[in-house]
Chain A
Amino acid sequence: MTLDRERPYWLEGIDLPDTPSQDEDIEPWDETKVVGKPLPRVDAYERVSGSAVYSADVVLPRMLYAAILRCPYPHAEVKSVDTGAAEKLPGVRAVLSAFSPEDAATRPHSEFIRERLFNTHCRYEGETVAAVAAETPYDAWDAVRAIEVEYERLPFVSDEREALEPDAPLVHDAGNRVAEPSTYERGDVEAGFAQADVVLEQEYRSECEIHTPMEPHGAVAKWDGDQLTVWESTQGVFNVQSGVASALGMQFSKVRVIGHYMGGGFGSKLSSGKYTVIAALLAKKTARPVKCVLTREETFLAVGNRPPSNMRLKAGVKRDGTLTAMQFWGTGTGGAYRAGGTSLLDWLVRDLYTCPNAKTETTDIYINAGPARPFRAPGHPQCAWALEQMMDALAVEIGMDPIELRLKNIPAYSQAREGNPPYTTTGLKECLEEGARSFGWTEARERSSAASADGPMRRGVGVASCLWPYGMGSPPATAIVKLYSDGTVNLNTGAADIGTGTKTVLAMVVAEELGVDPGEVQIENADTGTTQFAGASGGSMTVPSEAPTVRAAAIDVKHQLLELAAEEMNVAVSTLYLKDGKVQSTADPEVEREPSSLRSLGRRRMLTGVGHRAPNPAGKVVNPFAAQFCEVEVNIRTGEVNVLRFLGAHDSGRVMSLLTYKNQVVGGITMGIGFGMTEARVLDGDQTGKMVNKNWHDYKLPTALDVPPEVECVPVDPGDREANNTGAKGIGEPATIPTAAAVANAVFHATGVRMTGTPINPSRLVEALAAQRGE
Chain B
Amino acid sequence: MLPKFSYVRPTSLDEALTHLSSDGAKPHAGGSDLLGCMRDGVFEARKVVSLSALQELKGIRQAGGGGLRIGALTTVAEVASNSLVRERYSALAQAAAEVASPQLRNQGTIGGNLCQKPRCWYYRGEFHCLRKGGDTCYALAGENQFHCVLGGSRCYIVHPSDTAPALVALQASIRIDRRGDSRVVPLEDFFVPPSTDVQRETVLEPNEIVTEILLPGPARGLRSSYRKVRDRGAWDFALAGVALALEFNGGRVAGGRVVLSGAAPVPWRSREVEQVIAGKALDAATCGAAARAAMADAQTLRRNGYKVPLFEAVIEEELTNIGV
Binding site for B on A (CB under 8 A): 67, 72, 137-138, 141-142, 456, 635, 637-640, 677-678, 682, 684, 686-688, 690, 692-694, 697-698, 700, 702-706, 761-764, 766-767, 769-770, 775
The CA of A692 and the CA of B125, in the complex, are separated in Å by 7
B317 lies within 8 A of A767 (CB):
no
B251 within 8 A of A: no
A456 lies within 8 A of B231 (CB):
no
24 A-B pairs whose Cβ atoms sit less than 8 Å apart in the complex: A67-B1, A72-B126, A635-B313, A637-B317, A638-B313, A638-B314, A640-B229, A678-B231, A686-B142, A687-B138, A688-B138, A690-B126, A693-B121, A697-B235, A703-B233, A706-B232, A706-B233, A762-B306, A762-B310, A766-B309, A766-B310, A766-B313, A769-B309, A770-B306
A684 lies within 8 A of B229 (CB):
no
Residues of B within 8 A of A677 (CB): 232
Residues of B within 8 A of A763 (CB): 145, 231, 239, 306, 310
Residues of A within 8 A of B122 (CB): 684, 692
The CA of A550 and the CA of B115, in the complex, are separated in Å by 59
B271 within 8 A of A: no
B61 within 8 A of A: no
B162 → chain A, closest Cβ, in Å?
15
B31 within 8 A of A: no
CB < 8 Å neighbour of A639 from B233, B310, B316 = B310
Residues of A within 8 A of B306 (CB): 639, 762-764, 766-767, 770
B35 within 8 A of A: no
Given contacts A72-B126, A678-B231, contact A684 B138 (CB under 8 A): yes
The CA of A611 and the CA of B177, in the complex, are separated in Å by 75
The CA of A223 and the CA of B137, in the complex, are separated in Å by 49
Residues of B within 8 A of A684 (CB): 122, 138, 142-143
A767 lies within 8 A of B305 (CB):
yes
B86 within 8 A of A: no
Residues of A within 8 A of B310 (CB): 638-639, 762-763, 766
> Per-position contact with A for B283-310: 1 when CB-CB < 8 Å, else 0?
0000000000000000000000110011
The CA of A692 and the CA of B142, in the complex, are separated in Å by 10
Residues of A within 8 A of B182 (CB): none
B15 within 8 A of A: no
The CA of A581 and the CA of B316, in the complex, are separated in Å by 70
A686 lies within 8 A of B141 (CB):
yes
B127 within 8 A of A: yes
B82 within 8 A of A: no
Residues of A within 8 A of B233 (CB): 702-706
Residues of B within 8 A of A702 (CB): 232-233
Tell me the nearest residue of chain A to B140, going by C-beta. A687
CB < 8 Å neighbour of B313 from A72, A637, A700, A706 = A637
Interface centre among A637, A678, A702, A761 (most CB of B within 10 A): A637
CB < 8 Å neighbour of A770 from B138, B142, B309 = B309
Interface centre among B127, B229, B235, B310 (most CB of A within 10 A): B310
Tell me the nearest residue of chain B to A769, going by C-beta. B309
**Interface set, chain B 101-125, CB cutoff 8 A to A:** 101, 121-122, 124-125
Residues of B within 8 A of A704 (CB): 233-234
B236 within 8 A of A: yes
Interface centre among A138, A638, A682, A684 (most CB of B within 10 A): A638
In addition to A682-B143, A692-B121, 6 A-B residue pairs with Cβ atoms within 8 Å of each other are A456-B317, A692-B125, A697-B235, A703-B101, A705-B234, A767-B309
> Per-position contact with A for B129-158: 1 when CB-CB < 8 Å, else 0?
000000000100111010000000000000
B141 lies within 8 A of A703 (CB):
no
CB < 8 Å neighbour of A703 from B4, B234, B239 = B234
Tell me the nearest residue of chain B to A297, going by C-beta. B40
Tell me the nearest residue of chain A to B307, going by C-beta. A763
The CA of A448 and the CA of B80, in the complex, are separated in Å by 35
A638 lies within 8 A of B232 (CB):
no
Tell me the nearest residue of chain A to B41, going by C-beta. A145
A700 lies within 8 A of B236 (CB):
yes
Residues of A within 8 A of B231 (CB): 678, 700, 761-763
CB < 8 Å neighbour of A698 from B4, B121, B314 = B121
The CA of A635 and the CA of B310, in the complex, are separated in Å by 11
Residues of B within 8 A of A635 (CB): 313
A26 → chain B, closest Cβ, in Å?
48
The CA of A687 and the CA of B127, in the complex, are separated in Å by 11
The CA of A678 and the CA of B232, in the complex, are separated in Å by 7
A762 lies within 8 A of B229 (CB):
yes
CB-based closest 8 A-B pairs: A705-B233, A637-B313, A141-B1, A770-B309, A692-B121, A703-B234, A767-B306, A761-B231
A143 → chain B, closest Cβ, in Å?
11
B274 → chain A, closest Cβ, in Å?
22
B107 → chain A, closest Cβ, in Å?
15
Residues of A within 8 A of B143 (CB): 682, 684, 692
A674 → chain B, closest Cβ, in Å?
9
The CA of A72 and the CA of B309, in the complex, are separated in Å by 37
Residues of A within 8 A of B121 (CB): 682, 692-693, 698
Residues of A within 8 A of B309 (CB): 766-767, 769-770, 775
The CA of A142 and the CA of B234, in the complex, are separated in Å by 34
Residues of A within 8 A of B125 (CB): 690, 692, 694
B141 lies within 8 A of A687 (CB):
yes
The CA of A117 and the CA of B4, in the complex, are separated in Å by 30
Tell me the nearest residue of chain A to B227, going by C-beta. A638
Residues of A within 8 A of B317 (CB): 456, 637-638
A764 → chain B, closest Cβ, in Å?
7
The CA of A677 and the CA of B230, in the complex, are separated in Å by 12
Residues of A within 8 A of B145 (CB): 763
Residues of B within 8 A of A456 (CB): 313, 317
Tell me the nearest residue of chain B to A765, going by C-beta. B306
B204 → chain A, closest Cβ, in Å?
24
Interface centre among B2, B143, B317 (most CB of A within 10 A): B143
Residues of B within 8 A of A138 (CB): 1-2, 4
Tell me the nearest residue of chain B to A682, going by C-beta. B143
Residues of A within 8 A of B142 (CB): 684, 686-688, 692
Given contacts A638-B317, A766-B313, contact A688 B127 (CB under 8 A): yes
Residues of B within 8 A of A687 (CB): 138, 141-142
The CA of A769 and the CA of B142, in the complex, are separated in Å by 25
B1 lies within 8 A of A703 (CB):
no
The CA of A769 and the CA of B306, in the complex, are separated in Å by 10
The CA of A703 and the CA of B103, in the complex, are separated in Å by 13
Residues of A within 8 A of B234 (CB): 703-706
Residues of A within 8 A of B101 (CB): 703
> Per-position contact with A for B205-244: 1 when CB-CB < 8 Å, else 0?
0000000000000000000000001111111100110000
Given contacts A637-B317, A687-B142, contact A703 B235 (CB under 8 A): yes
Tell me the nearest residue of chain B to A67, going by C-beta. B1
CB < 8 Å neighbour of A705 from B4, B232, B314 = B232
The CA of A743 and the CA of B10, in the complex, are separated in Å by 53
A292 → chain B, closest Cβ, in Å?
14
The CA of A706 and the CA of B239, in the complex, are separated in Å by 16
The CA of A479 and the CA of B142, in the complex, are separated in Å by 55
> Per-position contact with A for B152-183: 1 when CB-CB < 8 Å, else 0?
00000000000000000000000000000000
The CA of A697 and the CA of B126, in the complex, are separated in Å by 16
B10 → chain A, closest Cβ, in Å?
25
B147 → chain A, closest Cβ, in Å?
12
